[in-house]
Chain A
Amino acid sequence: MKKWGKILILTFSLGMSALFAACEVPAEKDSSADKDRDYRTLDEIKESKVINIGVFSDKNPFGYVDENGKYQGYDVYFARRIGEDLDVEVNFVSTEAANRIEYLQTGKVDVILANFTVTEERAQEVDFALPYMQVALGVVSPDASVVKSLDDWKKGDEMIVISGTTAETYLIKNYPQISLQKYDSYATAKNALENGNGAAWANDNTEVIAFALQNEGYTVGIPTLGSQDSIAPAVSQGNKELLEWLNDEIKVLEEEGFFHEGYKETLADTYGMEFEDSLMVD
């Protein structure tokens, strides 16, 4: 019996390694042989008359599906325009935050337009086009005592943050003198601010701006804090033609004021018009 057990384990691990080897080999070939590429070129997309664009289907107001089953939002607005200018149909693919890179690497979508933040790690796996939006941190506080700067922070005042967010790490690193009040979730942090437990609340600026707009009596005193992160479309690594086309398109659309139009159409309801400059790329 023992002998069989050993043989079993051996065969199993051999089988597994064979399987992984099978997955690995073609991936290596890709870089050298062009015909093994995973993506579709610009001409292939035009020829097929369909472009596959990965968007969120549950991130209002960037990409979501309305009650009639139609894709809507800022990313979708941009995606439709891409389809129009390429003279192709847009096939929206519902992606999750966790599988966006995988979709590009396997060429199952041509472009990801899912509120994709540009980071160094991601740039090693996919190619980012020019940014069409930017996000940073923001601070919201009650109207009675609006916090406009963090430099003259009163001792004894506490800042509300959600544990594990970029706001927390940023404040610990750059403003160690500010004592933090940490909460586990959006809902508890919101309650804490409403109960006056802290002087202000630091979070992603899209979140605090939306919060101040929906809840009376609060003002975003600091709409941008810390480093600006860019949101950009991404294509499969090496898909130069499509990337260049997208970059040219973004430049043209920028000049034409398309993104401001898009902001007005899709984001103004959530963020109001006054913060357009904080969220748009100049």
Chain B
Amino acid sequence: MPDLGISVLFKGKNLPRLLGGLWAALRISLISVVISFPLGILLGALMTLKNPFVKAAMRIYLEFIRIMPQMVLLFLFYFGTTRAFGWDLTGETASVIVFVLWGTAEMSDLVRGCLISFPAHQYETSEALGLGKAQLYRYIIIPQAVRRLIPLSVNLVTRMIKTTSLILMIGVVEILKVAQQIIEANRTASPNAAFGVYLAVFFLYFIACWPISMLAQYLERKWG
């Protein structure tokens, strides 16, 4: 059987290092999720307002974050803020800021899309029934919105976890960087290590993202 480079994973502290890299990636995405989701919900609700200034401001923010590749945003916040304002952000802080901005934008758009998807007759009917604004949201809109949002936002979480593979460019040593380090350190001893190590990385990402996807499916079925 050819050497697939699985053995290098068990050399020294390689496996704990890889797990540590996974944790670094997960930590940044989870912190970002915790901060960006409430913000996104708030902004998404604001976006449904008819006020043209709020609308324009939100639109600009959303398009700016969407058009910019995440890599550019990371460079902008890691190196750009040092150049412009002299802030010395760590790679992790810069990553969290970028992921919060990005997550908030994406989440707010999901929330907006969800809120405007309710047919007008629901609003009109509840008004006809004599429900107030607060009651309308409390009993009609929010319960439905949460159901529609959960699968979408869970999908966003897995996307954020996967996008952390970019942060190695601003010096954060996450799982992919550790993998590259392991492969290169064993370049001569086991030239095929790339296969085994990337296979391990695949499984680790999978183990991290799969339960989240399963949860989304479960909730979709339960509330769908």
Interface residues of A (CB under 8 A from B): 4, 7-8, 11-12, 15-16, 22-23, 25-27, 36, 38, 57-60, 64-69, 72, 93-96, 98-99, 102-103, 105-108, 210, 214, 269-270
Contact = CB atoms under 8 A, between A and B. Distances in A.
Given A60-B187, A102-B75, 12 more contacts: A26-B84, A27-B83, A58-B180, A58-B184, A60-B184, A67-B14, A93-B171, A94-B177, A103-B171, A107-B88, A108-B78, A108-B79
Nearest to A21: B84
Contacts of B83: 23, 26-27, 38, 105-106
Contacts of B181: 57-58, 64-65
23 contacts: A7-B56, A8-B60, A15-B64, A23-B80, A26-B85, A26-B86, A38-B82, A38-B83, A57-B173, A60-B185, A64-B181, A64-B184, A67-B12, A67-B182, A94-B168, A99-B169, A99-B171, A103-B171, A106-B83, A108-B82, A108-B88, A210-B188, A214-B188
A27 B63 CA distance: 27
Contacts of B85: 26
Interface string B171-203: 101000110111111011000000000000000
Interface in B84-137: 84-86, 88
B224 interface: no
A58 to B, nearest CB: 4
Which 4 pairs from chain A and chain B are nearest by CB?
A67-B12, A106-B82, A58-B184, A65-B181
A102 B184 contact: no
B222 interface: no
B13 interface: yes
Contacts of B56: 4, 7-8, 11
Contacts of A96: 168-169
B79 A102 contact: yes
A107 B78 CA distance: 12
Nearest to A23: B84
A154 to B, nearest CB: 33
A106 B183 contact: no
Interface of B: 8, 11-14, 17, 52, 56, 59-60, 63-64, 75, 78-80, 82-86, 88, 168-171, 173, 177-178, 180-185, 187-188
Contacts of A12: 60, 63-64
Contacts, number: 99
Contact of B185 (A16, A22, A23, A65): A65
Contacts of B75: 99, 102
Contacts of A57: 173, 177, 180-181
Name, among A7, A8, A64, A68, the residue most crowded by chain B CB atoms within 10 Å (CB to CB).
Answer: A64
A105 B78 CA distance: 12
Given A26-B83, A108-B88, A8 B59 contact: yes
Contacts of B88: 107-108
A270 B188 contact: yes
A65 B79 CA distance: 25
B56 to A, nearest CB: 6
A211 B84 CA distance: 46
Contacts of A11: 56, 60
Nearest to A210: B188
A94 B167 CA distance: 12
Contacts of B183: 58
Contacts of A60: 184-185, 187-188
A39 B178 CA distance: 29
Given A58-B181, A106-B82, A95 B171 contact: yes
Contacts of A99: 75, 79, 169-171
B185 A66 contact: yes
Nearest to B85: A26
A122 B34 CA distance: 42
